[in-house]
Each structure stands twice: as structure tokens, then as C-alpha cells.
Structure 1
């Protein structure tokens, strides 16, 4: 409700820029000399009414295929720079209530000096999330065995009046690790999609979406290493102070953001979420009818 009015309030007036109270007040410039505009930098463009917004969105949709997409060849780099691209996903919990969390996370990544060359709101279905996180499932198995072993020893300690033969606890952990792995993996999928994969009964439900993420493509020298350094360890409790996961994460699943761990992973993940697919014309036509 009142989305246009609220955006205009947050963005601020196009000329009467107040200091720091709005986006334009912080990042914009409007300079007059002798009664004429000498310099104008609005920082943000936003529509002022429903009719104007419809016209602007239709213009975006009309030119999105030719002028949009991943902006790989826009920024000039020295010839000796070995460029990398990496993918960041800002996770669903950042969008579940009104807050500045998403912007603060992006600000933290901006410390790397890398350029954002692509941005897209994505909605993962169960099938897509399972493919995206498949490599993690493979790594979870061994981690789960160690975790299970601790839980089994803790549970059995003092509950039996006899000593277990050597290797029994390890055997139980080995038997149960596949079930524990599946359980933990399903928690990740449910968090990313809003759907419990155990309750999906048919293939159509695997395409259903309930949550959203913000996908960002960063480009620059050593992009993967720089982003992961700012991101921090998977477990927020183990992450270094000042990292995204330390400051914005809650646990190993709700840990603020995901980032690719290699160039191959980045390519694979961007393909799965179809980062280069142009959805703008379809979305605009769905709301406003034909573009032309």
C-alpha cells in the first residue's frame, strides 16, 4: 500500500535535497549558479505517479534485451588484470520484513572494490534449489558423521549400565549419517524456497516458489577470494568480526549470503538460476499489457 508515496519519501525531493535524511540527501547533488542548473545528480530515479511508472517500465521492457543483461564489457581494466566473476545470493530472511539489512550487506561487499555487473531478484523452486546446493549435500555427509558421533556419545553416556564395544558408536553414526544428511539438506532447501521438499508430492510443486533472493554478479581481480573474505565462515560463530556472516548471520543456514567458491562454481550457479534470462518484458506485460 502507498508504495509510490513511500518510495518518494525515502528517495527525497528532486531539488530540495536535505542533508542525510533521504537517499538524494545523502548521495545526490543539485547545484544552481546564477539561477540555472549547473550540476544535477539525482542518485536514484523513481516514478512520481502510476501513469508515469507504467510508461517508464514499458520503456525498460522495450530495451531490456538490447541494453540490459550482464554488463561484462562496460568497465575498463588494465590489460594485465585477470578478471573473475562471482555470484552472491542475499538470502530470503533478509526480505521477510522491512529493514536495511540487504543494503547493509551490499555496502559490506562494496569494501572489496569490485563492480556489480548484474543484479536480479530470483525465486527458487525446490528442483532449482536441490540442483544449486547439490555439491553441499556431498560435503555434508562426512560432516554429519562427526556431528552424529558426538550426539550419540552424549546420548548414550550414563544411559547404559555396560560398556559399549569399541567401534559401535562409529557404526551407528555411519548407519545414520545418510538420514541426518538428508534432514539437514532439506532444511536448507526449505529455507531457500519456503517449501519443505518432503511434502512435495508431484513435479509441478517442485516449480512452486514462495521465497526470494537477490542475486548479484561481481567482477574484478581476484573477485572470488575478495568476496569470500568479506563474507566470512559458514558458521557465524566462527566468522571473523566485521564479516557479513558475523554481523548479519544467525546460524549456518541463516547466515546472510551465499558466494561462489570457485570460477567453475560461479558459472554453474549462474546457469542454474538463469541470471542472464531477461524476465522484464514478461513481468511488465503481465501487469500492464502489451509493451508497444
Structure 2
């Protein structure tokens, strides 16, 4: 579960001890904040949600607004401050640079650089912006699983790889993906990590996410949730209590099961359990 630190009402920091390579800051109506030029010991990516601001990176300055993403390499000196009266809101994702380097190799020919250094300072790609916000939403949810957050992070890395630093990802044979599906089918009740699934598939996390999307049309996390919902349906048909089903099937609580059930099946566990076939 993500932990919020003591914060200004407009700003919250989110961290999860299971994901030490990730930190998120969510700012809402942060017009009063004034940032001086500063740097981070990691890569950072900011999704502008509303308002307009001036983004400075080194000697370069540009205006950014809703839908834009700012891209900040490790140790880049930068600042971003509101330039209008409209509420200035954004999500900032901080990723450990060495964790990122395992997914986005250093630029071709950059022999002395072992971490990616992106040349673009901003992006208007809506997919990248959406991936940043979805990762922040996931870490901000009390019912988030480790695999869910990891999947969102790997999806983000895949988009960074494709849109900002295009190098080919290694292909993952379908039989390896089938091994992962079989592994999840036997271990679906546990809090599985992406590292475990990569070990089964013998590939990297970004490649695994991309291969799952290509072959199955969903992420490993979505496949695991589907397995858990199928198990929940079996238990509900047997008349087990919904709260017990939620606990048995790997959901955070009854409300988490209900939200997931409704999202996937357009009905609630109680409604599903109350159905009876007429003789």
C-alpha cells in the first residue's frame, strides 16, 4: 500500500516500500509553489493536468499546459512554475535511473553513458501522459497490488522506450508466455511480483509487458485479476460470504472485489450471487 507523507494541502508524496525505485508527487492547485532551479538524483517525468507553467531545463525555457509531459534527466537543473491564474495541477513520477536503465538502454554510440539520457524535454504524446497519470492513480489507491503498480510502471517504460528512445525490444516466444499463464494459474492467490513472472519467462519486464499485450491483448496484472474474478465467481455460486470470497481471492477487501467485479462483469457480487435459474 502506498504511504502519503505529511504534506501541504495541495501536495502529496506517495511511496510504497515494495517499490523502492518509485516516488510520486501529486500537486493540485499548486499555483502558490515557487520552484528554484534544482536537480534530482533520478529521472523524473511530469504530467500537466491543468493550468499553464514555464518549464526551464538548463538554458532552455518553454511553456507547457494540460496534456503535456515534461522529461527531466538525472541531474538536469530545472524549474517549473505556474504562469496563469488557472489551477496548476500535475503528477510527477520519480524513477530510479538504474532501474530505468534496465528497461531503456543508453543511446547507441554513447559508450561512456550507462543510463538513458533523453534528448526531448517535453512530449505531447497522449499515451505517455495517460500512462503517467494511471501509474499515479494506481499508487494512490488503497487496494493497489504490487503487480498492478509494477505493470503500470513497465507500461510507462515501454512508452518512453517507443516514443523517446526507440530501440528494438527482444521478442518473447509464445511458449514462455504460456508458462507465465500456467504459473499465475497455480499461484493466483499470492501477491505476485513482476520479477517472479520475468524469471518464469526468462525475459525482461518491459519485454514481458509488451509481449503480453501483443499476444493476449492485456497485461499480466489484468490476466491475474481475471483469474481471481473467475475464482470469486465459483465461490459466490457456492453461497460463500462476499467478504470471505474477497479475502480468499486476493482482493484488498469486499469493496475492492465489488469494484473489480462491476468493472469486468457489469454486475455486483451480491447481484451475481442472488441469481437463481428457474426449474
TM range (shorter): under 0.3
Task: Return the structure number with greater relative CO, CA threshold 8 A, min gap 6.
Answer: 1
TM-score normalised to the size of structure 2?
0.27
- Structure ranking higher in strand proportion: 2
Give the number of the structure whose alpha-carbon radius of gyration is greater. Answer: 1
**Greater helix proportion:** 1
TM-score with structure 1 length normalisation?
Answer: 0.26
